[in-house]
Chains A and B, each alone.
Chain A
């Protein structure tokens, strides 16, 4: 079970890029997910935001192309297990 204290402490980091715009550097579609994530496929993108590169999920299953513009929105991250505190963070939406 995820630690409530850790989730609280790291929330600034999870929400850091909210509202920011970036461009896709690379992407993949995950078909075998780890514990705590959706069973369905989802797309993970590497996004260049200013001088940094970050990783996060795409809000869609429509495959992006390298260089595509995206914007960060706040969404629920992962699937909460019974009794767990909910995790909110940033995902990337095609702009």
Chain B
């Protein structure tokens, strides 16, 4: 049971997103597989996906996103005030050795802060937000950085190859001491044991249960989770200006939206998946970052993430300050891209052995 608690002391100080520059189009992959690119694009609702360079990994992506959140507020907040750093990912560089402390160290933070890595498929970071927000609310820390980052791996020939992308999003939460761009109002979580998508210890690629990943998994947790949340906080979807849902592809969030009575207008801004694919733990958070960067004062935002295994986290926010485009905006990163050939893509994504 989770209390229907309204956060009184938690807001967003700053956000930052990092999407690698390179893209490979669905058509390009399909062609290499001898499949019909147009049909696959239409069925997945994705045009292209982001591809990390060979020397980028979850930690380097996380640092890139976090630095942007920090540099945007460098005049008002110091990095050594950081109370917590939490990185949620499905591709932590180590099985044992936390990404969180590596990222904190690279950001210049030493010593007294709280960190440990999180894993819950694509919702690892949003659950991190619940933990960090709660610590801030309880007065244990003044502020904390939550980062979702992934360099998604997929087996050649698997349908996941079309969408498994890369990216990172950082949300810097803080108490009333700091100027907020967004207020965090409430949250909820809804979980179960559902084997829709998994990767065993030591295995290189994840497995997924085909069509089972739909109704009993994604839709159940996203739709029912959101409905339970809204009922709890006594709100209707129509009361939100922006809605961000986890995006494993372009179709699932649109279908879930329909079931929830969410319109295309509400969903559109955060629907980054069409252009970048699915960066797993950064998926819904990048949608949220975009909505905040392009937000208007007074807008209300609803976000529900999804993690296979399975579960969803829901949040309600109020935007307090309108966003302004700068050199790190996601809108820029969605435009300044480079297309790869399938051969470049293979080179960039192969795991180097020594």
Taking the complex as formed, is B116 at the interface, i.e. its CB lies under 8 A from any CB of chain A?
Answer: no
Q: How far is the CA of A59 from the CA of B22 in the complex (A)?
A: 12
Tell whether B67 is near chain A: CB-to-CB under 8 Å: yes
**Does B195 reach chain A (CB closer than 8 Å)?**
no
Q: Is A67 an interface residue (CB 8 A)?
A: no
Decide: B59 and A19 in contact? CB cutoff 8 A: no
Give the chain A neighbours of B63 by CB distance below 8 A: 74
Contacts of B64 in A (CB 8 A): 73-74
Per-residue CB contact flags for chain B residues 49-65 toward chain A (1 = under 8 Å, else 0) read 00001111101100110
Contact B105 A11 (CB under 8 A): yes
- Determine how close the nearest CB of chain B comes to the CB of A20; give it in whole angstroms: 13
B102 in the interface, Cβ–Cβ < 8 Å?
Answer: yes
A contacts with B, residue count (CB < 8 A): 23
Closest CB-CB distance, A79 to chain B, in whole Å? 5
Considering only CB atoms, which chain B residue lies closest to A91 in the complex? B55
In the complex, A77 has a CB within 8 A of chain B: yes
Chain A residue contacts of B354, Cβ below 8 A: 35-36, 79-82
**Closest approach, in angstroms, between the C-beta of B153 and any C-beta of chain A?**
15
> Contact: B56 with A15, CB < 8 Å?
no
With CB as the reference atom, state the residue of chain B lying closest to A39. B352
B106 at the interface (CB under 8 A from A): yes
Q: Which A residues are in CB contact (< 8 Å) with B347?
A: 40
Name the CB-closest residue of B to A14.
B106
- A88, B60: Cβ atoms closer than 8 Å: yes
Contact mask for chain B residues 156-181; partner A; CB cutoff 8 A; 1 contact, 0 none: 00000000000000000000000000
**CA–CA, A74 and B104, complex, Å:** 13
Q: Which residues of A contact B106 (CB under 8 A)?
A: 15, 18, 74, 88
From 53 to 95 in chain A, residues with beta carbon under 8 angstroms from any chain B beta carbon are 57, 59, 73-77, 79-82, 86, 88, 91
Per the bound structure, the CA–CA distance linking A59 and B94 in Å amounts to 23
* In the complex, number of A-B residue pairs with CB atoms less than 8 Å apart: 45
Q: Is B93 an interface residue (CB 8 A)?
A: yes
Chain A residue nearest to B351 in the complex (CB): A79
Asked whether, in the complex, the Cβ of B55 is within 8 Å of the Cβ of A86, the reply is: no
Which A residues lie within 8 Å of B56 (CB)? 75-76
**A93 CA to B211 CA, complexed, in Å:** 42
Tell me the complex Cα distance, A55–B64, Å: 21
- A8 to chain B: closest residue by CB: B105
CB distance from B145 to the nearest CB of A (A): 16
CA distance A42 to B252 in the complex (A): 40
A52 to B352, CA, bound (A): 33
Distance A88 CA – B57 CA, assembled complex (angstroms) = 10
A residues 8-29 touching B (CB-CB < 8 Å): 11, 15, 18-19
Residues of B within 8 A of A35 (CB): 354
Q: Mark B249-265, 1 if CB is under 8 A from A, else 0.
A: 00000000000000000
**Interface set of A (CB-CB < 8 Å, partner B):** 11, 15, 18-19, 35-36, 38-40, 57, 59, 73-77, 79-82, 86, 88, 91
Q: 13 A-B residue contacts at CB 8 Å?
A: A11-B105, A40-B54, A40-B347, A57-B55, A73-B60, A74-B60, A74-B64, A75-B53, A76-B55, A76-B60, A79-B354, A80-B354, A88-B59
B residues in contact (CB < 8 Å) with A: 53-57, 59-60, 63-64, 67, 71, 93-94, 102, 105-106, 347, 352, 354
* 4 new A-B contacts at CB < 8 Å, known A15-B106, A19-B71, A59-B55: A74-B106, A75-B53, A76-B59, A79-B352
